[in-house]
Amino acid sequence: MRFTGVKGLHPHMQKILLTEEEIQSRVRQIAGQISSDYAGQDPLLVGILKGAFIFLADLVRYLTIPVQLDFIAVSSYGNASESSGAVRILKDLDQSIEGLHVLIVEDIVDTGLTLNYLRENLRAREPASLKVCTLLDKPSRRLVEVKIDYNGFVIPDEFVVGYGLDYNGHYRYFRDIMVLKREVYAR
Ligand code: PRP
Ligand code: 7HP
């Protein structure tokens, strides 16, 4: 069920930022780039739960190389729309990544605190290489510099939901990425 069809935009949404078609086209492009960069390397893609689950699912289906998948779940201490910087691992990887080519797959880099923590944590496990792929990048909010190797879209400082991204657990299932009305998260 689409919430942006004939009945119009979901009432909590200000506007569509990225349509399903724009997202799919960019995900396909990134997959092409990853397929050529990692040819012959059998990389391990590490999805950051929960937000990256839809992006990762689409990404791997556009790849033309074999990959393995694992997941890590982290929680940042903070409220639903602001991250505090402290990160805790809720579910760790199932396997050792020593000697593997690891690609972290994120939905969004905002302050950069989550990714900075994950990069350092995973680097200490001595992978053969460690790179980052994110669908969205909100550079205006950055508190710590993080290197992004594959970047889908640079977006403005708006709170977005859909395509895996949530507010308080809601709206992850939208096919488009939308700007949430400020009154919804400011109340
Ligand atoms: C979101 C998002 C990133 C992180 C980015 O995760 O999925 O992991 O915030 O923010 P940062 O750059 O400011 O650290 P969230 O904690 O909302 O968990 P979720 O993926 O389960 O929605
Ligand atoms: C985290 C997050 N989650 C959903 N939408 C956004 O705009 C976000 N920024 N940081």
Percent of the chain scored above 90 by pLDDT? 88
Does residue 1 lie in a domain region?
no
Note down the domain range covering 168: 13-77+85-178
What pTM was computed for the model? Answer: 0.94
- The per-residue pLDDT for range 131-159, each reduced to its tens digit, is 999 999 999 999 999 999 999 999 999 99
For 1-25, what is each residue's pLDDT tens digit? 455 545 689 999 999 999 999 999 9
Out of 110, 137, 157, 166, the active site residue is 110
Structure tokens belonging to residue 112: 């950069």
Please name every residue paired with 10 in a beta bridge, in sequence order, or none if there are none. Answer: none
Kindly give the distance from the C-alpha atom of residue 52 to the centroid of ligand 1, in angstroms, as a whole number. 9
Q: Is 107 in the pocket of ligand 1 (CB under 6 A)?
A: yes
Instruction: Over range 42-59, report the average pLDDT.
Output: 98
Q: Indicate which CATH number applies to the domain containing 112.
A: 3.40.50.2020
- Using the structure block, give the residue that is written with the tokens 């393995």: 68
> Exposed/middle/buried for 172, CB within 10 Å: 0-12, 13-18, 19+?
middle
Confirm whether 110 is a catalytic residue: yes
Cβ within 8 Å of residue 142, ≥6 positions away: 109, 110, 111, 112
Number of domains in the chain: 1
The pLDDT of residue 86 is 80
Looking at the domain assignment, is residue 183 inside a domain?
A: no
* Inside any domain, residue 53: yes
pLDDT digits (tens, 9 = 90+) for 78-98: 666 666 668 899 999 999 999
Residue 28 has pLDDT above 80, yes or no: yes
Q: Is the CB of 177 under 6 A from ligand 2?
A: no
C-alpha torsion sign, points 21, 149, 105, 74: negative
Is residue 71 assigned to a domain?
Answer: yes
How far apart are the CA of 99 and the centre of ligand 2, in A? 32
